[in-house]
Structure 1
């Protein structure tokens, strides 16, 4: 039996017309008809009364209409179930983290759980926020580490993914140090236009800034002079003196300590962040579940 036969059956049962069903399934009517007949021959019963227009389900067809969706759902769950069985005895861990946290917070955080992360293979996907979200939603990773803010709920949060706060961070507006130990660019209400280094619309940090301070920025004289996805790129441009960028303290702690970068505004323009660890909704497997429980207990 071919799985596609089940999908053919459901389409025909829905529309009641071979020609239209064949079109919906992107094939010729004769080819579609042969596939429906093949399903009936495999079952040993007729599923459709072809003497009527539209075609109607026979009693056996009515019964199969309740069975076919369940069969397809069971088949769709098989790959995930197979991965769970494999992972129950696997020591491999798959983690996605945004670029900024991959460079800063994550290495130290993982060291706290060496008993769980050093015993097997740890695979890291470092990517943009929305791509990390997609990896977790597709069960390609078991965990996702990202910045978060209550005013900018993520898609994962809205869909009920479980998460815990594993750290704190803050977005600071910073600039290259200028003459007289003052910031080269400053965010204030003076007439001078402040050049901004901004995140793209696809950036998770950009979304947080949009939800928290964008409306207040509209009241100041500013101009976006450079846009990029990554905080590390904006950091480089800030060090070159190109403008003001909101950067995670975890990324620029050394720059602040050396005086290379300095705050470009007072503390009211800081944006407090959480660092959250999300877990997949599917069963994690023994090694990943042990890491999750250790992380929960450490909070």
Structure 2
């Protein structure tokens, strides 16, 4: 029997998704006859037909439906092999591999690590700071051991949805703020302008975790307001700069703007019901972390 080629699994999933040999062949960058031969070779290796070719579009047989889950599991497992191999190689190393969202990298994480270091001997830390989606992807692919991010029960992320272990290690609030006017009141307010002008918003772009949180928690309330987004970015720090410049209202983590609010450079732009309480959560890989990682997790659990 011809050995199974892992790339056949990608061929299979492409055809299962489209139901069209020509379209799937184009997606896999090969001719249709070559693609068809690879699908037939996979079926010969499995020992049964995976597609019902008598129907248009082509549909999976009962065996094909079963094999789709198997193919996805195999590819996911193969994708993790390099990261798991590195984890084994690093099992005795002292380096802790973190990913954290930008805002927490600048605000929460340094002091939190300093507190832990006072109770637990730690080795070196390697930190990647990025948007939530990419932080989550790094842990899903085994590139880091831990992810530190904001969380809210109404807006679960990919790690929560897949049951990755996590601990609540802090609290924060997402607060709508604006630069003050001459009288010290918010220059931009969540109360719609009396003459019908829309509320001016500084927004998060869709890849930012804060954007998902805002829409899940405050989406209906915001939909009832006349609003105009004049600027969007994935970074809370950039929105802070725009808010300080008086360009509109931005929802920012309290941990990021505490000094600005205390100094009167920013003021809350709406009543408390427009604020969102958040948790700061540490997620860990489900795979063994090595001695340094497991010792660190134990210390975090004790502190929490």
Task: Tell me the TM-score range normalised by the shorter chain.
Answer: 0.7 to 0.9
1:4-39 per-residue CA deviation (whole Å, 9 max, x = no partner) reads 94327988xx9xxxxx9xx8896997xx99xx9xxx
Q: Are residue 112 (structure 1) and residue 115 (structure 2) matched? A: yes
Q: Are residue 289 (structure 1) and residue 294 (structure 2) matched? A: yes
Q: How much has 1:79 moved relative to structure 2?
A: 3.6
Question: 1:128 & 1:10 partners in 2: Cα distance?
Answer: 33
| 1:116/1:83 CA distance change after superposition, 3 Å | farther
Q: Which 5+ residue runs of structure 1 have no aligned equivalent?
A: 15-19, 37-46, 49-68
Mapping 1:48-127, distance limit 5 Å? 76=78, 79-114=82-117, 119-127=122-130
Question: 2:274 & 2:240 partners in 1: Cα distance?
Answer: 17
| 1:247/1:9 CA distance change after superposition, 3 Å | closer
- Counterpart position of 1:230: 235
1:39-77 per-residue CA deviation (whole Å, 9 max, x = no partner) reads xxxxxxxx99xxxxxxxxxxxxxxxxxxxx9xx89x947
The answer on whether the counterparts of 1:116 and 1:287 sit within 8 Å (CA) in structure 2 is no
Mapping 1:211-290, distance limit 5 Å? 211-290=216-295
Q: Alpha carbon RMSD of aligned pairs, Å?
A: 3.4
The answer on whether the counterparts of 1:98 and 1:127 sit within 8 Å (CA) in structure 2 is yes
- Counterpart position of 2:52: none
- Counterpart position of 2:5: 7
The answer on whether the counterparts of 1:87 and 1:286 sit within 8 Å (CA) in structure 2 is no
Larger Rg: 1
The answer on whether the counterparts of 1:176 and 1:261 sit within 8 Å (CA) in structure 2 is yes
- Counterpart position of 1:196: 201
Mapping 1:143-222, distance limit 5 Å? 143-192=146-195, 193=197, 194-222=199-227
The answer on whether the counterparts of 1:174 and 1:245 sit within 8 Å (CA) in structure 2 is yes
What is the TM-score of this pair, normalised by structure 1? Answer: 0.75
The answer on whether the counterparts of 1:190 and 1:221 sit within 8 Å (CA) in structure 2 is no
- Counterpart position of 2:58: none
Q: Which 5+ residue runs of structure 2 have no aligned equivalent?
A: 13-20, 48-70
Q: How much has 1:87 moved relative to structure 2?
A: 2.4
Count of paired positions: 255
2:135 to 132, 135, 138: 132
- Counterpart position of 1:62: none
